[in-house]
């Protein structure tokens, strides 16, 4: 990564050539009768269709608080997972190192330990992605993104105390040849190429292949004369395929999905707190060799078969394999070794993690016009995790002399059965009931020592079980509006800690009562979604660092209340979106927990634990999240359209831990993005963009890390600009 332009030119040209080869397909398409398959999400301007409940439903008829993006979401400024917090209320996303931490309504604080789980379930084409390290590599060539707020404890099971995100890619189209090439170039060496080719061989077989190459230089400069790396550089390559086969009678449908990805970075650019070398937030001074490499693959098989005209069976099986390796400069300075033989400050850390996951789910789904619509299902996940941590206080380029090390093997098993039914009692009234029972087991074996691995391992086992579900009463007015009252419970499994002599942590639960209203106004040109909610958050899982290892413990409980409003308007050439979320989330009981930044023992607490009073704000719970976007289509000569768009997001102050300080507070921020899109014809689009138009300097994440002298700060991207060209060909 130290010579980015040399290493990047070849993959950039190779991927572009590969995708341009598909341009010849339109000639074949002219001989075909195009019959595009129905996509799983549709958008008529104000109405969308979602599939989060295992069947296609109009969002306006479902008792779920959700933000749904469809179509060309890049035009809305959404190109990665973190961008979702700029378009969806009550969402806070923090990215550090290899992980993306997603919080919805202040719930879902992810952990970085392999033995713990995120609190927001993340799905790609129906596949659960159980670890936050591997959720961002598939965010390209998308059909829809569904952000569901609140526990989804019936159909998603564990890991959904905060909510769920469903990412869906386009389905292959039968009898159609075509594709697209999407190229973005910008400052800081930005090069992003996305391409897709669809080959609809006949009425029964179709294939879609998509790929991305996304590279960018760091926003931050490493000014050290001894620098070995440039933290902040990124280089992602990914390719996936979807083979669709259906029977002649259309009763059986089969999808085989394959994906491979490789992400290389020089790790995060973390600004050292109290930096005396440079006050510029985009300058750091490090001599250590920092890098991070993630690569992996996914394979899934989905089969849908109509047993009768009123009953469908669905099976989804997936296998995922992920490999992660990263190294960081522990003191974030360019102080050369030798360094202290003990303690955390100043060391180079190396982590290796291999994860292998298999998931199986089977559903029975009613498909009749009966007043009762139902889904039954069974789920099983098996996972093996192999983690190796090495540390060296005497070198900066790589781990040579190991001063401390640990090796962990973890085996996770999750099983559940579930069912959900909606009963249309009258033409206006519906009753929804869902139940799920989950059982989770975790076994780990850990070897650790200051030097060679101990011959006798430490073995830990944790078991969790919980029943969750949802109850909702829906009233559909004669005018097409929906009023609903629901209660839903989510659950996140407990587990074992990597730190020796540290107790296991138990499961957490979140029960939410929600009153919602959905309607369409002004002759269906304006969609309004609104809700108020109250949350009872029990046995909250919080993380800290003990001896440089991530450790999870259960706090007491928390309560939150809030309200959300979303507007989507489409008035001819003028369209706009608006979203606002208010959140009041606090601890409902006092607690004694560990504080990474200021270890100590407070009065009335056990050793090494500090006191958290009742009514203290929960971590990652901004009081306000507000966003808005507006655009206008100017008709030009012929079919050409020129569309300027402005997007604004506001997130108020939030805290990274339960202990507010300058080292934990993420201040409020306002970010404005601008785009100008020129639709030349149905095949060609040109676009210019400026992100962070006002060049606001803001903190994106506060890092709590005992492997650093005093943690650090990750700043959000400065003003950036670029151009984009999109070419579509065929059907």
HEC assignment per residue over 679-721: ECCCCEEEEEEEECCCCCCCEEEEECCCCCCCCEEEECCCCEE
Contact criterion met (CB below 8 Å) for 238 and 212? yes
pLDDT of res. 326: 82
pLDDT of res. 518: 96
pLDDT higher than threshold 90 for residue 249: yes
Which DSSP helix (H) or strand (E) runs through 611? strand 610-612
- Tokens 């901004």 belong to residue: 622
pLDDT of res. 118: 85
Tens digits of residue pLDDT in 128-185: 998 877 888 889 999 999 999 999 878 887 788 999 999 999 999 999 999 999 999 9
Cα separation, 378 vs 421, whole angstroms: 15
Tens digits of residue pLDDT in 66-83: 999 988 899 988 999 999
Tens digits of residue pLDDT in 660-715: 888 889 999 999 999 999 999 999 999 999 999 999 999 998 876 544 445 688 99
pLDDT band at 12 (very low <50, low <70, confident <90, very high): very low
Dihedral sign for Cα 151, 156, 159, 165, please: negative
Dihedral sign for Cα 268, 273, 275, 279, please: positive
Cα separation, 54 vs 70, whole angstroms: 18
Peptide bond into 648 cis (omega under 30): no
- Tokens 């899982």 belong to residue: 541
CA separation (Å) from 72 to 351, 582, 588, 643, 729? 37, 28, 43, 14, 16
- Using a pLDDT cut of 70, give the percent of the chain over it: 84
Highest mean pLDDT among 11-20, 309-318, 395-404, 696-705: 309-318
- Taking residues 361-381, what's their average pLDDT? 95
Is residue 517 helix, strand or coil? strand
pLDDT band at 613 (very low <50, low <70, confident <90, very high): very high
Residues in the chain: 731
Tens digits of residue pLDDT in 267-317: 888 887 777 788 899 998 887 777 888 999 999 999 999 999 999 999 999
What domains are there in the chain, each with its CATH number? 4-730 (2.40.170.20)
């Amino acid at each position: 990564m130290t010579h980015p332009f040399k290493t990047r030119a070849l993959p950039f040209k190779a991927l572009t050539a590969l995708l341009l080869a598909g341009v010849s397909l339109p000639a074949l398409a002219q001989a075909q009768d195009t019959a595009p398959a129905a996509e799983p999400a549709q958008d008529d301007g104000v109405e969308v269709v979602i599939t989060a409940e295992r069947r296609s439903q109009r969002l306006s008829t479902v008792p779920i608080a959700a933000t749904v993006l469809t179509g060309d979401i890049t035009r809305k400024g959404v190109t990665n997972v973190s961008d979702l917090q700029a378009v969806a209320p009550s969402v806070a996303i923090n990215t550090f190192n290899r992980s993306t931490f997603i919080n919805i309504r202040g719930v879902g604080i992810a952990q970085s330990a392999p033995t713990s789980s995120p609190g927001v379930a993340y799905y790609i084409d129906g596949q659960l992605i159980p670890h936050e390290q591997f959720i961002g590599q598939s965010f390209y060539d998308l059909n829809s993104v569904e952000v569901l707020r609140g526990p989804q404890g019936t159909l998603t099971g564990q890991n959904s105390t905060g909510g769920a995100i469903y990412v869906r890619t386009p389905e292959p189209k039968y009898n159609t040849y075509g594709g697209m090439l999407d190229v973005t170039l910008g400052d800081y060496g930005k090069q992003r190429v996305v391409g897709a080719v669809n080959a609809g061989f006949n009425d029964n077989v179709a294939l879609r292949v998509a790929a991305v190459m996304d590279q960018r230089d760091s926003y931050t400069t490493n000014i050290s004369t001894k620098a070995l790396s440039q933290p902040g550089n990124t280089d992602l390559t990914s390719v996936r395929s979807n083979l669709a086969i259906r029977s002649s009678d259309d009763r059986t449908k089969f999808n085989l999905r394959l994906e491979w990805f490789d992400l290389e970075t020089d790790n995060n650019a973390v600004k050292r707190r109290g930096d005396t070398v440079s006050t510029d937030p985009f300058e750091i001074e490090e001599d250590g060799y920092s890098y991070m490499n993630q690569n992996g693959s996914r394979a899934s098989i989905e089969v849908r078969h109509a047993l009768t005209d009123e009953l469908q069976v669905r099976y989804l099986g997936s296998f995922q394999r992920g490999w992660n390796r990263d190294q960081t400069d522990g003191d974030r300075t360019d102080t050369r070794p030798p360094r202290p033989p003990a303690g955390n400050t100043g060391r180079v850390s190396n982590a290796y993690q291999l994860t292998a996951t298999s998931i199986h789910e089977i559903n029975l789904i009613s498909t009749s016009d009966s007043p009762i619509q139902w889904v039954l299902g069974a789920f099983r996940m098996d996972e093996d995790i192999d983690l190796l941590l090495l540390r060296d206080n005497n070198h900066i380029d790589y781990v040579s002399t190991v001063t401390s090390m640990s090796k962990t093997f973890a085996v996770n098993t999750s099983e559940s059965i579930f069912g959900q039914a909606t009963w249309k009692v009258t033409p206006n009234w519906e009753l929804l009931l869902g139940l799920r029972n989950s059982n989770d087991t975790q076994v780990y074996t850990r070897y650790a020592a200051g030097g060679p691995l101990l011959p006798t391992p430490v073995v830990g086992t944790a078991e969790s079980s919980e029943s969750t579900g949802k109850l909702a009463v829906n009233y559909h007015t004669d005018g097409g509006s929906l009023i609903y009252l629901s209660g839903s419970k989510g659950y996140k499994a407990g587990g074992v800690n990597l730190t020796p002599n540290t107790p296991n942590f138990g499961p957490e639960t979140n029960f939410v009562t929600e009153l919602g209203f959905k309607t369409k106004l002004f002759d269906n040109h304006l969609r309004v979604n609104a809700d108020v909610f109250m949350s009872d958050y029990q046995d909250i899982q919080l993380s800290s660092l003990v001896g440089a290892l991530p450790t999870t413990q259960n706090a007491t409980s928390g309560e939150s209340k809030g309200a959300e409003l979303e507007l989507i308007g489409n008035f001819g050439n003028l369209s706009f979106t608006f979203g606002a979320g208010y959140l009041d989330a606090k601890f409902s009981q006092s607690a004694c927990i560990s504080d990474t930044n200021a270890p100590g023992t407070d009065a009335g607490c056990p050793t090494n634990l500090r006191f958290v009073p009742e009514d203290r704000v929960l971590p990652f719970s901004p009081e306000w999240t507000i966003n808005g976007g507006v655009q206008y289509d100017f008709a030009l000569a012929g079919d050409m359209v020129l569309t300027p768009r402005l997007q604004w997001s506001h997130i108020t102050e939030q805290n990274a831990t339960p202990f507010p300080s300058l080292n934990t507070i993420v201040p409020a921020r306002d970010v404005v993005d601008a785009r100008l899109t020129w639709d030349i014809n149905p095949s060609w689009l040109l676009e210019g963009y400026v992100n962070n138009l006002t060049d606001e300097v803001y903190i994106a994440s506060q890092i709590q890390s005992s492997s650093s002298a005093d943690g650090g700060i990750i700043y959000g991207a400065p003003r950036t600009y670029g151009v984009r060209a999109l070419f579509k060909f065929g059907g």
